[in-house]
Amino acid sequence: MKIALIGASGNAGSRIAAELSTRGHEVTAIARNADRIARLPGVTPLAVDIADTDALVSALKGHDAIVSSVHFTASDPDQLIGAAKASGVKRYLVVGGAGSLEVAPGVKLVETPQFPAQYKEEATKGGVFLDKLRQETDLDWTFLSPSAAFVPGERTGQFRLGQNELLTNEAGSSISFEDYAVALADEIEMPRHVRQRFTVGY
């Protein structure tokens, strides 16, 4: 498949690019600084300022799917969603956050007293992005939320999937960037959560 990856130089984006490369996909790896994108088989780095809507739309056209892996505080959901729609690509996957996941009925993780203050703005804006996607009828979108601790680690291929509730185990709530990339690539290849949010964790 031909996949456009916005934010390919970041923690999650770089692992997603690597996972898609190993699976033989053609990836257009988009970042403001293309020099920060790892050179991998099938991965074509492309320097684009995502705030330049015309340039972004041009970069996205002609792909089978778009993956958006950018910080919510550093982007505009209306602009990104609009660019995806203008590109004519129907499949749109977003690297989400854990803050909008529920820890009890009607209680989101971001609303709990122990949620770190330094991540609250990012988490809140991620929830806004998800709400906007839920109103979308033109895109076949998917929003994949990681667990609470989203960290560098190993690619084990062993994880659990959920819907809107935070996944936890005896060690807490976590997922590696590497295993998150596996779950996202699986969803691209075999869509099971179209127009839905789902989550991944150990």
Q: What is the pLDDT of residues 122-148, one digit of tens each?
A: 999 999 999 999 999 999 999 999 999
CA separation for the pair 196, 123 (Å, rounded):
18
Q: Is residue 201 a contact partner of residue 162, using CB atoms and an 8 Å limit?
A: yes
178 and 129 Cβ atoms separated by less than 8 Å:
no
**pLDDT band at residue 171, thresholds of 50, 70 and 90?**
very high
Phi then psi for residue 107, to 5 deg, are -115, 115
CB 43 within 8 A of CB 17: yes
- What's the pLDDT at 116? 93
Distance between CA atoms of residues 196 and 163, nearest Å: 8
pTM over cut 0.75: yes
Residue with tokens 């490369």: 21
pLDDT of residue 29: 98
Q: What pLDDT is attached to residue 108?
A: 97
Of the pLDDT bands very low, low, confident and very high (cuts 50, 70, 90), residue 150 is: very high
Average pLDDT, the chain: 97
